[in-house]
Structure 1
């Protein structure tokens, strides 16, 4: 097995970035807003294994793991005695640390991966010995053609020896949410998302039951207010349900005021008003708040909706995509998969984070801070660039913000680099984006470098499609929106990579280096103003990548720690975000949010 610290982000092996698909797709469901700001997130999506369901435990399969010390290779063999649509080789870490991994041998075989051999219904997979092999156990999950996906097979270690059963999975439905607040503090929790009816929103009560956002609690209640519940008055952990997609867990120092949408003058559960700190009439201006994102649909859920969908693996993350108000960490545990990971900001208060931010960033980004100094109309908060007035373009009634053209020069120069040439070597830096699995996008921006980025998609050297990306503005770059969030799936994949590169100061670097974290957020060169213009980056996002907890299992090629954070909407490109995805469709054993204060 390859060393996980150096594995390329787009490897066929499903690392954290590639395993998150269905979870992220549901996690980031657009949340309609009414009159208040707020932001529907637009994160990149990838493919996911088929939905897991139960299959008889005595299925007629055979499995083995055979190490060959002489050849220094290990061979995994599996035969389901049937033709398969999916065959997953699952790598489960024996303890916290390394992330779970998986391989789809059916897909690899179709892509002519030399490591996979098929004889009849038997699959073999061969890999060189590695230092990390002993840190995992192995099992299979498979889908016979026309049948549901199997339950996991028994676990084996890297020598083929059966291992002790892992703790039983939490398949009963929901899970406990524990909120740890500083002593003497008073915080509230508000959980909102979607369940049976997509496009209709509910809030979750402490016992795990739900109610439409149109049926909120009286504000005079001593424990509840609107959709919020006082943490100190909950006598046990908040119970999260077995099904909540596109969910947000708001943490605040007073109840959140988020009325339902209105349709034809009547309250509607098709949306709810989220906070908008640019709106002086927003009732949450003086409320200190932040939120955690999560999505989950347990495999045990009986979906009786008109258009039922399959289970969704639990996925969640801390986020600064829309702003920052409260530092927190999130600890996720699941004994059956040995998943134990913590992400977020630890041992800092809101004021400490903001003070350090102001010491770190340039004046343009400092303008995003509200609620400090003489500003008494807001609680302390940092508004994210995507929503900050400082990056807004001019309108008929409002002047442009000081940072309205912040990325313009970098975008212009990148587009010029990718102009068409005859021969192609006339391009300063040809646009060639390799996203792994044999897929490469090549393109150019026209003869003068000002047109759209027109590309061809290649799969194993064969042209399989075309597309284009319109030249973005600074506003599109900071928000990952407009021309960077439109078109076909292929368009959006290229757009996500372009947007991530721009926010990381990499847009004018060779495209092949866009996946190298050691080059992200380059330091200015005092004697090279052109370099500095071409390497501007999102200083807001960069800051949170310095104060977030480091990933204990990953470092840059320079040996520096990687600090996962969600600082902009496509920060998950190349696995730099704080997203955590469980490797199965069972509930976590626990989720703990620890508030910094």
Structure 2
């Protein structure tokens, strides 16, 4: 999960997603603390609703995994937090952290204070493996649906992300790595909020729409199994490494001749390209090398966003401008009119499809999709319950 609110980065630890390697130290935490000094409940009701229309409750399993403090943990079916342990691996080499759905109707669970992911698996259980990380601690290998050798590659699965702590509940549906299972989140508390809901028939439109774009067609895997994000496709040899090269060159040429202004909570930065670098002055002096296609898609490398209040927010806004392909012709960023997003022929069609699919137009199609509040993210400082719905296919 990646979040930026009003230009201030508060969480950037899952920008590239968890890999098939052990996620030890992956930082499944979201910056926060006590809200106005108030203590929040240590647990919260979690309801899981199966509205898939294709899978019965007996064919769906839930996994709640992540971090509590400095240790990796999982949630048991009775709502307890249990540390990851190597002894959890069974004779087949895999853990069984699956939480089955109720025999019928909605499934009522308890969510403890922690930060992590809620995975859903349909048709088959997921294969999580407990391993030892570089520090000698027990850690967990997460599914990587974009890696053909991953043991979960052929299993229909997806996840939502959350942090539930003394500051409240912070959660999102994510397509940063891949899209497969339509999920929506409803969060009740001080407000009643829902995000992630797909339009009727939108899942099929995502698959067919991307299959019709030559550069993105290889990202559609199996018979509507999943679509992987173009960054992962690039790493797998399924997506062109220079796809955005001409657009990046266009941006660099544009701001060699005029100023680019980027406004964050810290103020307005003014940038020009000189000596091959895009350098800004203003509340602070920050500079960026010309990014590659991979840097843009992962919002990393030359566009890495440290949580420093200066470079990070500017990098996030640049990353959004590149992915939404508004940067070349809008010298005042961030752009806030969604009608201006993804208009060139060469653009991030994956992110475009994710936003077109959702009822509220919000999605996490790339890591900095929270710029200007276009991510499928909701929060509440006084939460009373959360519902994860597997919506119709």
1:579 maps to what in 2? 377
* Secondary structure, counterpart of 1:237 in structure 2: strand
1:201 maps to what in 2? 72
Size of the aligned set, in residue pairs, is 382
Partners of 2:7 and 2:110 in 1: how far apart? Answer: 26
User: CA 1:279–1:513 in 2, change beyond 3 Å: closer, same or farther?
Assistant: closer
TM-score by length of 1: 0.57
- The 5 A counterparts of 1:400-415 are 402-415=239-252
User: CA 1:209–1:317 in 2, change beyond 3 Å: closer, same or farther?
Assistant: same
Matched, 1:240 2:240: no
2:162 maps to what in 1? 294
Offset from partner CA, 1:503-523 (integer Å, 9 cap, x none): 101120122154232443344
- The 5 A counterparts of 1:304-453 are 312-334=167-189, 337-348=190-201, 352-358=204-210, 361-372=212-223, 380-388=225-233, 391-392=234-235, 402-419=239-256, 427=257, 429-436=258-265, 439-446=267-274, 451-453=276-278
Offset from partner CA, 1:536-590 (integer Å, 9 cap, x none): 321000001111012xxxxxxxxxxxx01110000000110011011x2x33323
* Secondary structure, counterpart of 1:203 in structure 2: strand
Following TM superposition, by how much is the alpha carbon of 1:219 offset from its aligned partner in structure 2, in angstroms?
6.1
Partners of 1:296 and 1:211 in 2: how far apart? Answer: 16
Partners of 1:499 and 1:435 in 2: how far apart? Answer: 14
1:135 maps to what in 2? none
1:35 maps to what in 2? 21
User: CA 1:259–1:491 in 2, change beyond 3 Å: closer, same or farther?
Assistant: same
Following TM superposition, by how much is the alpha carbon of 1:210 offset from its aligned partner in structure 2, in angstroms?
1.3
Partners of 2:286 and 2:84 in 1: how far apart? Answer: 40
> Out of 344, 347, 351, which is 1:537 matched to?
347
> Out of 154, 179, 191, which is 2:48 matched to?
179
* Secondary structure, counterpart of 1:356 in structure 2: helix
* Secondary structure, counterpart of 1:541 in structure 2: helix
> Out of 548, 555, 559, which is 2:358 matched to?
548
* Secondary structure, counterpart of 2:285 in structure 1: strand
1:138 maps to what in 2? none
CA contact (8 A) 1:296 1:314 kept: yes
Partners of 1:475 and 1:259 in 2: how far apart? Answer: 29
User: CA 1:215–1:332 in 2, change beyond 3 Å: closer, same or farther?
Assistant: farther
Partners of 2:367 and 2:322 in 1: how far apart? Answer: 12
> Out of 452, 455, 471, which is 2:280 matched to?
455
> Out of 103, 113, 119, which is 1:250 matched to?
119
CA contact (8 A) 2:278 2:289 kept: yes
CA contact (8 A) 2:182 2:197 kept: yes
Matched, 1:192 2:65: yes
User: CA 1:504–1:516 in 2, change beyond 3 Å: closer, same or farther?
Assistant: same
> Out of 113, 134, 142, which is 1:274 matched to?
142
Offset from partner CA, 1:294-344 (integer Å, 9 cap, x none): 00113xxxxxxxxxxxxx33110111001011112111111xx13333433
CA contact (8 A) 1:296 1:313 kept: yes
Following TM superposition, by how much is the alpha carbon of 1:594 offset from its aligned partner in structure 2, in angstroms?
3.1
1:103 maps to what in 2? none
User: CA 1:353–1:406 in 2, change beyond 3 Å: closer, same or farther?
Assistant: same
* Secondary structure, counterpart of 1:191 in structure 2: strand
> Out of 52, 65, 76, which is 2:36 matched to?
52
Following TM superposition, by how much is the alpha carbon of 1:50 offset from its aligned partner in structure 2, in angstroms?
6.9
* Secondary structure, counterpart of 2:315 in structure 1: helix
Larger radius of gyration: 1
CA contact (8 A) 1:36 1:279 kept: no
1:155 maps to what in 2? none
1:594 maps to what in 2? 390
Following TM superposition, by how much is the alpha carbon of 1:356 offset from its aligned partner in structure 2, in angstroms?
3.3
Following TM superposition, by how much is the alpha carbon of 1:21 offset from its aligned partner in structure 2, in angstroms?
6.1
**Structure possessing the higher relative contact order (Cα contacts under 8 Å, 6 or more residues apart):** 2
- The 5 A counterparts of 1:475-494 are 475-486=294-305, 488-494=308-314
Partners of 1:452 and 1:506 in 2: how far apart? Answer: 19
Offset from partner CA, 1:229-288 (integer Å, 9 cap, x none): 2214599512101x112x10001112211212324797x42x321223454432101100
1:566 maps to what in 2? 364
* Secondary structure, counterpart of 2:353 in structure 1: helix
Partners of 1:19 and 1:178 in 2: how far apart? Answer: 32
2:292 maps to what in 1? 473
Matched, 1:520 2:373: no
CA contact (8 A) 2:47 2:387 kept: yes
Following TM superposition, by how much is the alpha carbon of 1:364 offset from its aligned partner in structure 2, in angstroms?
0.8
Following TM superposition, by how much is the alpha carbon of 1:417 offset from its aligned partner in structure 2, in angstroms?
1.6
